[in-house]
Amino acid sequence: MNLPRIGVSLPYIDPYAGPDAVVMVAQATERLGFHAVSASDRLLIPTGEHWNNDAGLPESHAWDSLEMLTWAAAHTRRIRMTTDIVNSIFQPPIILARRLATLDRLSGGRLDVGVGQGGGTRVPPFYIPEEFTAAGVPVGRRGAGFVEHIAAMRACWAPDPVEFRGEHYQIPPSMVGPKPSGNTIPLFIGAITRQTIERAARIGDGYITTAVDWDDTHTHVSWYRAAGGTGTVVVNVIPARHQLSPSAFTDAVLNELDQAAAVGADEMHIALHLLSSAPEQQVELLEALAAELDLPTFPR
């Protein structure tokens, strides 16, 4: 059984987010032989009375994922950059397509995009209605509007002249750039329900999910494959916050890695930022894990 490639989340949530922290973790990830760094999308943290600490939301601000990945790309040479997940419909497709293509070109073609529609289920933290309100996007834009958004972005990456005519999005005949390093950018679709997972198999280059329960994750990956999905499967794992010693962290991640391999994942990304530890401690944890896995190192 082949073990999945390992990605590591950048410190993109306060109080540990920042330029120095991103460089420290990104360069350690590359030096230690891991596959990728990632950052996710969170427009805001709602404070209404109906929200509480059990919702699974970050306790502070999240920095913008694309800018964090751009900064990481500027200070590395080999590892891939993964958005995990950017909620696409909060931005017009031509704007997001250009931002993603710019990051892809600046990184030398190292970008993979995990993309979602702002919640495939009405359960936090996957769905926050306040984000739709703040972005000025109707919740009803999900579904068919999300599919159209993906098509419009891919149109922007195709050869000029670009033209797109849909129900929700219109792009007049234009020259739109920059273009990605390749013919396109890999889009891994985030989904939870069977309908949206089967749609991911049809329109995506891969599938991305979070392993809250491994039995559910196994079912979801099986749905993706049964629907004809042949792309990359990325599974995010959330380490317990008490696993802050290098040995406990390593044991926990190795167990998660075996679980990810068993469900057929190609990549496993560790939500390291949720441990609420300083970047120096995150690097220490990664060093212990890399030593146990005997990964090839890449001195700068």
Residues in contact with 141: Cβ distance below 8 Å, sequence separation at least 6, in sequence order: 89, 117, 168
Which ranges constitute the DSSP H helices of the chain? Answer: 19-31, 65-74, 93-106, 129-135, 144-157, 194-203, 214-226, 246-262, 279-293
**28 vs 35, 186, 253, CA distance in Å?**
11, 25, 17
Phi-psi region of 143 (alpha: psi -120 to 50; beta: other; left: phi over 0): left
Prediction pTM value: 0.92
Which value, in Å, is the radius of gyration of the alpha carbons in the chain?
19
Tens place of pLDDT per residue across the chain (300 aa):
688 999 999 999 888 999 999 999 999 999 999 999 999 988 888 887 666 555 456 667 889 999 999 999 999 999 999 998 999 989 999 999 999 999 999 999 999 999 998 765 554 556 788 888 888 887 777 778 899 999 999 999 999 999 999 999 999 999 999 999 988 999 999 999 999 999 999 999 999 999 999 999 999 999 999 999 999 999 999 887 666 789 999 999 999 999 999 999 999 999 998 887 899 999 999 999 999 998 877 766
What are the structural domains of the chain? Answer: 37-73+80-246 (3.20.20.30)
